[in-house]
A and B are shown apart, each in its own frame.
Chain A
Amino acid sequence: MRMKRRSTTRNRGIGLALLLALTAVILVLGASAVALIAQLSQQVSSSQRASKVKYAAKAGLSRALLELSKDPHWSPTTLVLPDASPDSFDFRDNSLGCKVQVVNNWGGAAPVSAPDSTMVEPGRVWLESVGTLHGEPLSGAHGIAAGLAVKPEVVFDLAVYQRDGIFTIQSPSVLIASYRSSGAATDPKDPAGVLESEAVIRSEVGVIINAASQLQGKVQLPRVDIPVAGNLAGLVEVVPDGPLPLQFTEPEALRSLPHPSQYGTALDLDPGPYFEVKVEPGGSLVLRGGTYYIDSLWVGEGSVVELVDVTDSNPCVVYLGEIFDVGPDAEINWQRAPALLQLYSTDRDNWGADQFILGNNSRSSFVIASDVLELALGEGAVLYGAVDARLVTWAAGARLIFDENLIGQVLDGDPEWVLVSETD
């Protein structure tokens, strides 16, 4: 009995103590769960904030490109958005903003150093945009976008640069070769005999050339593992970086002018903007040295397009909009140096699909460029000059003869700023 009584007394309150301990453990677990929930919620919110600020920073880079397109020397100490600019936007979300730092070396002669130690080559602009929330950047490296803005030079060092898809010639009797324009008013362009050609074609993804067609020159590829098919052994060279994208828009000076249309058999147009120009079959069109914008240009069958008052320093530069359709047997700047007629496609809305056509047996001499251009060479069509396009298609017997005088020559097209090496 004594023993039993002692035992009961000793165990008195032990159940409560155990329960309290257990409850404490439960409460600690509960508190941990609460902390975990709060942390999770905070992480999700922070990921959302990081996204918002990231795109605010990207908006800063876009705004910088807008300013550069208006003034290539634009070089503010820091651009802070929102700035209530009438040409741009403010953020819909008032808490968002960004600060853009600019190192403009567009007109410079030597490389300059950017705050992140990048060497900014002449002709380039270093941009760094930091997204802000309530005027403050996020901690860590969140919401920073940077890049180099470049206004590329228009250079045709390649006979054909196809920027997209596999460079494909499936038709027979296609010839790609080169010649050297004499610079004389008349330019004999008949690559008779065996040429020692400097014609170089470049593709980023692959080259297929029909065995019955001929490339007298080289294939340039970004990497050695890019597939090539055709009689191209020994003709492949690897150059990692291709030319920068060439994008064009209607020149600012022409945009506000009236855009008349002209139709007829004998047209003589002064430089300026036009909406539609249509040369009837068998007709003629005279273009002069200077800058044109033509939204849609049709050159009828057997028509002739001639250039007058053009020189190397005053070429005919035509920005083309939606359509450039050259009919069969037509002649464009024939027997003249290709650099005298420079065509630049501005058609970004339609991507130039199937609208830029050199008709069957047409004979042309010009250079043409745009990263959205799709150019089709009809059967037996001959083009002297060079092509920088998104896509080129070749019908049987088409010939492209590259003018070696173009190598290293900076032409007159005014391309848009593009952003390269963008990081975020």
Chain B
Amino acid sequence: MKPTRALGFSLLEVILGGLIMGAALTGMATLWMTHQRVLRESRDRLMATFILQSEMERCLAQGFHSIPAVAAEDPQEVVTERTFGTTRGTNTTTTSFLTDVFFENNGDETMRRVWVTVTYEDSRHGLRTLELETFVFKNE
């Protein structure tokens, strides 16, 4: 009787263990997918921030008087490509970022408020827009 009971307990172990393992693996798979999504979102957001800063620096480098010209060039599309390896070869994903520059003058046109936006598609939030703003004095 004892060996038989011992074998039955092993079966229970297997079932229980299988359930626990299954739950853990399912959790891990979900976590892995979430991780991939958040990683991609973070990468895109980081890239958007970088593009945003570059565009703002371009405005500031051109100076107060050239801001309307810079704004007239936008919106512009920046497409980034990421290639990563898998067991079946390489995969490439692209993200499209749309930059736009806006400005407005104060009353006597001695200062401009400049704001730059970057819009891109986020898998979770849909269209997402990031913005940076500053003021530029006429001598800058």
Contacts and interface: CB of A to CB of B under 8 A. Distances in A.
Interface of A: 4-5, 8-9, 12-13, 15-16, 18-20, 22-23, 26-27, 29-30, 33-34, 36-37, 40-41, 43-44, 47-48, 51-52, 55-56, 58-59, 62-63, 65-66, 69, 86-89, 91-93, 96, 247, 249, 348-349, 416-419
A349 B65 contact: yes
Contact of B39 (A18, A29, A40, A55): A40
A47 B46 contact: yes
Interface size, B (range): 35 or more
A160 to B, nearest CB: 23
Contacts of A20: 17, 20
Contacts of A247: 139
Interface majority SS (helix, strand, loop, mixed), chain B: helix
B110 A69 contact: yes
Given A23-B24, A37-B38, A87-B107, A63 B135 contact: yes
Given A15-B13, A58-B134, A65-B140, A51 B108 contact: no
Contacts of B107: 86-87
Interface in B1-19: 2-3, 6-7, 9-10, 13-14, 16-17
Nearest to A47: B49
A164 B31 CA distance: 57
Given A15-B17, A51-B132, A88 B27 contact: no
A246 to B, nearest CB: 11
Nearest to B44: A44
Contact of A19 (B20, B60, B104, B106): B20
A25 B28 CA distance: 11
A91 B133 contact: yes
Contacts of A5: 2-3
A324 B137 CA distance: 26
Contacts of B32: 33
A375 to B, nearest CB: 19
B28 A26 contact: yes
Smallest CB-CB A-B distances: 6 pairs: A19-B17, A55-B134, A59-B135, A62-B137, A65-B137, A16-B13
B132 to A, nearest CB: 5
Contact of A51 (B17, B25, B38, B52): B52
Q: Find the residue from A22, A62, A96 having the highest chain B CB count within 10 A.
A: A62
Contacts of B139: 65, 69, 247, 416-419
Contacts of B64: 348
Given A41-B42, A418-B139, A89 B111 contact: yes
Contact of A62 (B9, B52, B132, B136): B136
B42 A19 contact: no
Interface in B28-63: 28, 31-32, 34-35, 38-39, 41-42, 45-46, 49, 52-53, 56, 60
B13 A48 contact: no
B36 to A, nearest CB: 10
Contacts of A69: 110, 137, 139
Interface in B114-135: 115, 130-135
A26 B135 contact: no
Overall SS of chain A's interface: helix
Contacts of B35: 33, 36-37
Interface of B: 2-3, 6-7, 9-10, 13-14, 16-17, 20-21, 24-25, 27-28, 31-32, 34-35, 38-39, 41-42, 45-46, 49, 52-53, 56, 60, 64-65, 104, 106-108, 110-111, 113, 115, 130-140
A92 B133 contact: yes
B39 A88 contact: no
A40 B35 CA distance: 10
Contacts of B115: 92
22 contacts: A4-B3, A5-B2, A9-B6, A16-B16, A19-B16, A26-B24, A30-B27, A33-B32, A37-B39, A47-B49, A51-B53, A55-B56, A55-B133, A55-B134, A63-B111, A63-B137, A65-B140, A66-B110, A87-B108, A89-B106, A249-B138, A416-B138
A43 B139 CA distance: 35
Contacts of B130: 48
Nearest to B139: A416
Contacts of B25: 26
B128 to A, nearest CB: 12
Contacts of B21: 19, 22-23
Nearest to B53: A51
Nearest to A15: B13
B9 A13 contact: yes
A18 B138 CA distance: 72
A44 B49 contact: yes
